[in-house]
Amino acid sequence: MEIDYGRLTQHELEKRIVRMALTWVDLLSAGFAFETLIEHPSYNDLLSADRDALVEAAVIAYARPFSHSEGLGAEWPDFADDRWTREHEELLEYRNAFVGHSDTDPRTVTIETDDSARGFSYRVTLPVYRYGRAEMALEMCRGLHTRLNEHLNQAIGELIRREREGGPPEALVSIKLPR
């Protein structure tokens, strides 16, 4: 994916830099959360509350830059690997249906009558983030993080070039150049 940052308006360039920088931080957080999940003793235990909390933290951080209208743009994430594209879409769906909202579709409630004093029992079935997916998600975070860093370097280089040539900043980012 090639983006000519020199063709963007000052406002577009600064807005793009802010979005990329925020996404860079979100993906760093997501990567740390996925890494912590993988290394945590509860990773193999699908019923662990610790595991659920780590999955939710990782999914929220990963999905944040892709979950609203002012994200990175249509060219992101643009994975070359179809497996990563599918996993990306599933992470966003998992976030939207389960982690970010309390949708009823992915959950079921089962009530059974029994001989207990209360006369019934119930259970809630939740979607499960399958064992083994976190490794792929961690690879995705690292890959996106590297690509974002390259794009940030190009965009910031363009912004600094414009500043040195006397172009007025839009004040979306703070530029401190030695004079």
Cis before residue 127, ω within 30 degrees of 0? no
DSSP state of 125: E
Instruction: Mark 143-177 as b/e (b = at least 16 C-beta within 10 Å).
Output: bbbebbeebbebbbebbeebeeeeeeeeeeeeeee
Residue 67 within any structural domain of the chain: yes
Residue 179 within any structural domain of the chain: no
Q: Residue range 94-111: average pLDDT?
A: 72
pLDDT of residue 81 exceeding 70, the answer is yes
**In the numeric block, which tokens belong to residue 26?**
């979100």
Output the pLDDT for position 175. 64
Residue 42 within any structural domain of the chain: yes
Residue 15 within any structural domain of the chain: yes
Instruction: Mark 79-99 as b/e (b = at least 16 C-beta within 10 Å).
Output: beeeebeebbeebbebbebbb
Percent of the chain with pLDDT over 70: 79
Q: Which domain holds residue 55?
A: 7-164
Output the pLDDT for position 168. 66
- Structural domains of the chain, count: 1
pLDDT of residue 40 exceeding 60, the answer is yes
Q: What's this model's pTM, rounded to 2 decimal places?
A: 0.77
Residue 26 within any structural domain of the chain: yes
pLDDT of residue 165 exceeding 90, the answer is no
Distance CA(2)–CA(163), nearest Å, equals 23
Q: Report how far apart, in Å, the C-alpha atoms of 55 and of each of 23, 136, 141 are.
A: 19, 13, 14
pLDDT of residue 71 exceeding 80, the answer is no
Pick from 30-39, 43-52, 121-130, 147-156: least confident: 121-130
Residue 49 within any structural domain of the chain: yes
Q: Residue range 103-113: average pLDDT?
A: 74
- Residue 177 pLDDT level (bands cut at 50, 70, 90): low
Average pLDDT value over all residues in the chain: 83
Residue 58 within any structural domain of the chain: yes
Pick from 10-14, 33-37, 91-95, 125-129: least confident: 125-129
